[in-house]
């Protein structure tokens, strides 16, 4: 995974406390295994630990990823699915021809590693700056928007009866959740308040059909190669909701990474994504509803940025990353004005 560099400060496998339990799991799950090698923590993933390692065999190495709860303890955030559920969703997606890493093992209590799962390591790139600018991906970029539509169509057709327990979150539930979060900060943002009113007045009907929704389908959570999308990553925000939510989220300006004239992830057009979605068996796209979710997604990211500010100001997390992301709430205000009050 070229997009997730190793942290220079991590211990070597011989001193890493995960090495012993992970070696035992590898030997148990892969009969041909003789041990593990190249265990290192990767810098990607803001809420979960991501570890890269190889299982050594007489025939060669098997490249794998350990996705683990921080410290092995379950993440209790209301919006994040348990890692065991995430592994199940990835497996269901694979059977629907969604490109995902194959899950090799879901951690059990006696593995001694806490909550998480082991999956294949896919070669490719997730860093948006490289995907949007490097020559290596020049041939892939024109295909990506349509591929995203095709992938989402297959994802949204996953049999609802096969799903593990998931929260259901239609538009009004999303508005309520983020409005409550916004109010706790005690710092007024008039543009946010205008957006909340617009979203409340224009919410899709309660009868809107629901499907499995990835919840964070965007440039940055897609593993890209010169041939296009190789894997959809980070399923922790998956839920049941309006399928147009996924189509709108990838169009949020923050995920265009400077390429504002390419609304789908900074690499393509809405028309290409919509065409791919419908051609692959998705329901007829409702552009107005997609725009609604683009507005809601923009507002959500703005509120998330204010959470970063609160963490920095309170001293909970004084990292430069929190302060830097926090100031981006002003960018989302500009985006909301462009969406809701366009000049001319």
Domain assignment of residue 77, yes or no:
yes
pLDDT reported for residue 31: 86
For strands 116-120 and 60-68, give the pairing: antiparallel
Q: Does 59 reside within a domain?
A: yes
Residue 14 lies in a domain: no
What's the structural domain count of the chain? 2
**5 domain-assigned:** no
The confidence score (pLDDT) of residue 293 equals 98
Last residue of a domain, one of 76, 100, 120: 120
Q: Give yes or no for residue 3 having a pLDDT over 50.
A: no
pLDDT (0 to 100) of residue 14:
54
Position 43 confidence tier, pLDDT thresholds 50, 70, 90 = confident
Which residue's entry shows tokens 């552009």? 287
Query: What's the mean per-residue pLDDT of the chain?
Result: 90
Boundary of a domain, candidates 54, 89, 120? 120
Say what percent of the chain tops pLDDT 90. 78
Residues 67 and 134 in one domain: no
Give the burial class of 141: count Cβ atoms within 10 A of its Cβ; 0-12 exposed, 13-18 middle, 19 or more buried. buried
Residues near 236 by beta carbon (within 8 Å), at least 6 away in sequence? 47, 48, 75, 80, 81, 83, 86, 215, 216
Instruction: Express each pLDDT in 99-158 by its tens digit.
Output: 999 999 999 999 999 999 999 999 999 999 999 999 999 999 999 999 999 999 999 999
The answer to whether residues 133 and 74 touch, using CB atoms and an 8 Å cutoff, is no
Q: Using one digit for the tens of pLDDT, what is the confidence trace for 273-332?
A: 999 999 999 999 999 999 999 999 999 999 988 887 666 566 665 666 666 677 788 899
Q: Are residues 25 and 115 in the same domain?
A: yes
Q: Which candidate, 218, 227, 229, places its Cα nearest to that of 294?
A: 218
pLDDT in tens, 168-222: 999 999 999 999 999 988 788 999 999 999 999 999 998 889 999 999 999 999 9
Same domain, 71 and 102: yes
- Give me the pLDDT at residue 306, please: 86
> CATH number for the domain including 257?
3.90.1200.10
What is the reported pLDDT for 10?
A: 46
Whole-number Cα distances in Å, 266 to 13, 41, 114, 245, 332: 38, 29, 37, 18, 16
Whether residues 170 and 292 share a domain: the answer is yes
Query: From the DSSP assignment, how many helices (H) and strands (E) are in the chain?
Result: 11, 9
Burial track 51-83 (b if 16+ CB lie within 10 A, e otherwise): bbbbbbeeeeebebbbbbbeebeeeeeeebbbb
Are the beta carbons of 83 and 67 closer than 8 angstroms? Answer: yes
């Amino acid at each position: 995974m070229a997009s997730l560099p190793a942290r220079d400060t991590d211990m070597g496998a011989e001193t890493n406390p995960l090495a012993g339990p992970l070696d035992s799991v590898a030997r148990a799950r892969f009969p041909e295994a003789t041990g593990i090698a190249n265990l290192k923590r990767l810098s990607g993933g803001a809420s979960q630990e991501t570890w890269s390692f190889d299982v050594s065999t007489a025939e060669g190495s098997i490249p794998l990823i350990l996705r683990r709860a921080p410290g092995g303890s379950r993440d209790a955030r209301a919006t994040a699915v348990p890692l065991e559920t995430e592994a199940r969703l990835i497996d269901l997606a694979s059977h629907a021809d969604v490109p995902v890493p194959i899950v090799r093992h879901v951690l059990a209590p006696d593995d001694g590693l806490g909550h998480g799962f082991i999956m294949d390591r896919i070669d490719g790139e997730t860093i948006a700056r490289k995907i949007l600018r490097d020559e290596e991906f020049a041939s892939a970029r024109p295909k990506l928007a349509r591929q995203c539509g095709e992938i989402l169509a297959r994802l949204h057709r996953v049999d609802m009866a096969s799903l593990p327990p998931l929260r259901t979150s239609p538009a009004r539930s999303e508005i309520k959740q983020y409005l409550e979060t916004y109010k706790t900060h005690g710092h007024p943002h008039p543009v946010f308040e205008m957006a909340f009113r617009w979203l409340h007045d224009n919410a899709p009907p309660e009868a809107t059909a629901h499907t499995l929704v990835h919840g964070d389908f965007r440039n940055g959570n897609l593993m890209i190669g010169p041939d296009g999308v190789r894997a959809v990553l980070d399923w922790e925000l998956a839920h049941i909701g309006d399928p147009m939510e996924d189509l709108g989220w990838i169009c949020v300006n923050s995920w265009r990474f400077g390429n504002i004239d390419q609304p789908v992830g900074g690499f393509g057009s809405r028309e290409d994504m919509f065409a791919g979605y419908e051609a692959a068996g998705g329901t007829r796209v409702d552009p107005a509803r997609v725009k609604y979710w683009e507005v809601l997604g923009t507002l959500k990211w703005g509120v998330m940025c204010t959470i970063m500010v609160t963490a920095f100001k309170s001293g909970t997390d004084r990292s430069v990353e929190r302060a830097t992301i926090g100031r981006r709430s002003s960018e989302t205000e500009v985006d909301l004005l462009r969406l809701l009050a366009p000049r001319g």
